[in-house]
């Protein structure tokens, strides 16, 4: 079994989509290894998205990700990273396939409802960012 890290972002939590999104994730065959709701500090959001720090949208992204609570979860499934990215759809909801989580629940390319790790290596880093090894192993 492999795993991925998801974040239900402040836009979706604010609109009470948390339950619907978790249901979609479970119906798609993922198991939840660990899950928590928290509000990121600016420092934490900057660190999580450090890879994007040179991008023009970085400051706005950090402001958005700290604007309210998020739900972080470690999800388990065969081929978890790739299958989860299919389930959530393209970064820009306008380009996301019908039936995907972003198509159904996202507002914009920034306020795009959910995050999914983009590689197994990043899934390890991101799971370690939100959870201690004891919580998700
Ligand atoms: P995520 O998959 O969490 O990874 C980086 C995030 O940056 C992305 O989702 C969006 O929330 C945001 N993002 C990516 N591209 C853009 C963009 N062109 N403009 C604004 N925000 C973006």
- Residue 79: φ, ψ to 5°: 55, 40
Closest Cα to atom 6 of ligand 1: 110
- Region 91-119: mean pLDDT is 98
- Beta bridge partners, 27, equal none
60 closest CA partner among 130, 109, 118: 109
Structure tokens at 86: 């299919």
- The whole-number pLDDT of residue 1 equals 87
Catalytic residue selected from 48, 61, 115, 116: 115
38 closest CA partner among 125, 105, 129: 129
Neighbours of 82 (CB within 10 A): 16
Mean residue pLDDT of the chain comes to 97
- pLDDT tens profile 54-64: 999 999 999 99
- Residue 110 alpha carbon to ligand 1 centre in Å: 5
Strand order in the sheet with 114-116: 31-38, 70-77, 2-8, 114-116
- Region 111-125: mean pLDDT is 97
Helix and strand tally (H, E) in the chain?
Answer: 8, 4
- The whole-number pLDDT of residue 137 equals 83
Which protein residues are within 6 Å of ligand 1, measured from CB?
Answer: 52, 57, 61, 91, 109-110, 112, 115
- pLDDT tens profile 4-56: 999 999 999 999 999 999 999 999 999 999 999 999 999 999 999 999 999 99
Confidence tier at 79 by pLDDT (50, 70, 90):
very high
Task: Please report, for the domain that includes residue 41, its CATH number.
Answer: 3.30.70.141
pTM, whole model, 2 decimals?
A: 0.98
- The whole-number pLDDT of residue 34 equals 98
Q: Report d(CA 98, CA 67) in Å as an integer.
A: 28
Q: Report d(CA 10, CA 46) in Å as an integer.
A: 15
Confidence tier at 130 by pLDDT (50, 70, 90):
very high
**The total number of structural domains that make up the chain:** 1
Q: What percent of the chain has pLDDT over 90?
A: 98
Structure tokens at 108: 């914009």
Give the residue numbers spanning the domain of 115. Answer: 2-136
């Amino acid at each position: 079994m492999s795993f991925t890290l998801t974040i239900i972002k402040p836009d979706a939590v604010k609109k009470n989509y948390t339950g619907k999104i978790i249901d979609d994730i479970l119906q798609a065959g993922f198991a939840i290894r660990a899950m928590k709701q928290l509000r990121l500090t600016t420092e934490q959001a900057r660190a999580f998205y450090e890879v994007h720090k040179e991008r023009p949208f970085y400051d706005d992204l950090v402001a958005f990700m700290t604007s309210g609570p998020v739900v972080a979860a470690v999800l388990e499934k065969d081929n978890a990273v790739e299958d989860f990215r299919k389930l959530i759809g393209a970064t820009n909801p306008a380009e996301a396939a019908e039936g995907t989580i972003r198509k159904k629940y996202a507002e914009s390319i920034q306020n795009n409802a959910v995050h999914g790790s983009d590689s197994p290596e990043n899934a390890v880093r991101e799971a370690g960012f939100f959870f201690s090894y004891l919580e998700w192993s």
